Amino acid sequence: TKTRQEKNLGKARSVFVL
């Protein structure tokens, strides 16, 4: 299961990639 933190991390990672 994906937690809110995991989702936030993914979003942050996307921003870092950009």
pLDDT reported for residue 18: 63
pLDDT reported for residue 4: 85
pLDDT reported for residue 13: 81
Please write the tens of the pLDDT for every residue from 1-18.
Answer: 678 888 888 888 877 766
> How far is the C-alpha of 14 from the C-alpha of 6, rounded, in Å?
12
pLDDT reported for residue 14: 79
> How far is the C-alpha of 12 from the C-alpha of 10, rounded, in Å?
5
